[in-house]
Amino acid sequence: MTVATIPAPAFAIERFKLGNGLRVVLAPDPGAPVVGVAVVYDVGMRSEPEGRTGFAHLFEHMMFQGSHNVGKAEHMQHVQSAGGTFNGSTHIDYTDYFNLLPSNGLELALFLEADRMRGPAITEENLANQVSVVKEEIRVNVLNRPYGGFPWIKLPPVMFDTFANSHDGYGSFVDLDAATVADAQSFFNAYYPASNAVLSVAGDFDLAQARELVERHFGSVEARPAPEHPSFDEPDLSTERRVSYTDERATLPAVAVAWRVPDPVTELDDFLPYVVLGELLTDGDASRLVERLIHTDRTATAVAAHTTFMAEPFASRGPTVMLVQAFLPPGTAVDTVLGTVQEELACIAEGVDEAELDRVKARVAAQLLRGDDSVMGRSRRFATAEIFHGDAAMSTRFPALLGEVTAEAVAQAAAALTPNRRAVLEVVPGGAK
């Protein structure tokens, strides 16, 4: 067994909860004169109701359309005028809003986030405008782009049966057009209470002053109960599922294959070996599938492997996947590539060299540790760790936990990825001619 040698970064972290249920994480660091302020809500694409595909993403846009004391587009104006940047993003299991400002902009960021937590400006005009914006985003990023939605939108309905797990979280035009102001208000009431959120602040600030500012701006936000999150679980596959489709804009064939893996939250110890396995398979020229598919067999032009559809292993909850995707030269059979993937998994299942494993674990841990260099990245990671693992400090322990993954655990993970448990998605290029 390899002894863990990967250190856990030591950040000072203070956690507390306001009377309205808002969880707060403060991580002071005077290393740079900036602050990162993130608010993460425990709602994502999996939570949106049937008939409202894309609603979580649409609502992320609505949160930038003004609020009680902030006019339309004023959030952007205030942050940029103060020398900062901002954004928001929608994920499968959460939605986050984040701001990076000079350290003297802390109170501004807290005021802006607290104001829209009280309620965004949900009007007919704002809703219609943002429906149009989201539809245009879908046109640009999915409908009119080669390999649009491959594989994160196209593969889930092959892999899963329930609406929550299988639907298109980007959204259908029919559902988006049917959205009403009442729907948007209902979504806010259900999923955006303070008790369903985490506020995370990292960077250059005084701890006592920041706590006072948080209580001043967020303490008066209405207390409402957090929603009960249903189980999204469903049975694993017992026979292979395979779907192919023609992409008229694609010029090369592509394939994605996925297997169910343990829950990243409730089965973390069993999940970690798959994170290491993904690195072993495709990270760097020395990785198994890059060496075999690209350099030796030349049956792929690009290959990648990772856990979870959005490649964020520690900001997701189950059910989720281990995914391998590859782009192929013209004339290469998908089954040839799938056969090679299974051969390499079988080889890993027979045993992994400790030196190779140590190199791989060091690479994946280094990637996580580099994420902590950014004040903004750190505040977001602390918030998602608090949401999913109940402790912001868990985000500092993931590199060390990966360092403790054994060769035996990685071999067992590889052995579990059998052909009968996989879902396969094939892209047939329609633009090659």
Q: What are the tens digits of pLDDT across the range 179-231?
A: 999 999 999 999 999 999 999 999 999 999 999 999 999 999 999 999 998 88
Mean pLDDT, range 45-61, rounded to an integer? 94
User: Is the pLDDT assigned to residue 60 strictly greater than 90?
Assistant: yes
Q: What is the pLDDT of residues 263-288, one digit of tens each?
A: 999 999 999 999 999 999 998 888 99
Contact status, residue 81 vs residue 105, Cβ threshold 8 Å: no
Gap between the Cα atoms of 196 and 58, Å rounded: 18
| Phi, psi (degrees; rounded to nearest 5) at 295 | -85, -35
Q: pLDDT category, 367, cuts 50, 70, 90?
A: confident
Q: Supply the pTM of this predicted model.
A: 0.95
What pLDDT score was predicted for residue 136? 97
Q: In terms of Cα–Cα distance, which of 255, 267, 362, 371 is closest to 312?
A: 371
pLDDT for res 1: 45
pLDDT digits (tens, 9 = 90+) for 232-262: 999 999 999 999 999 999 999 999 999 999 9
pLDDT at 84 over 50: yes
**CB atoms inside a 10 Å sphere around CB 24:** 22
Q: Measure CA of the first residue to CA of the last residue in the chain; give whole Å.
A: 53
Amino acid at 23: R
Q: Which helix (H) or strand (E) holds 396?
A: helix 394-403
Q: Which residues contact 258 (CB under 8 A, 6 or more apart)?
A: 151, 155, 159, 321, 322, 323, 324, 422, 423
CA atoms of 96 and 205, how far apart (whole Å): 22
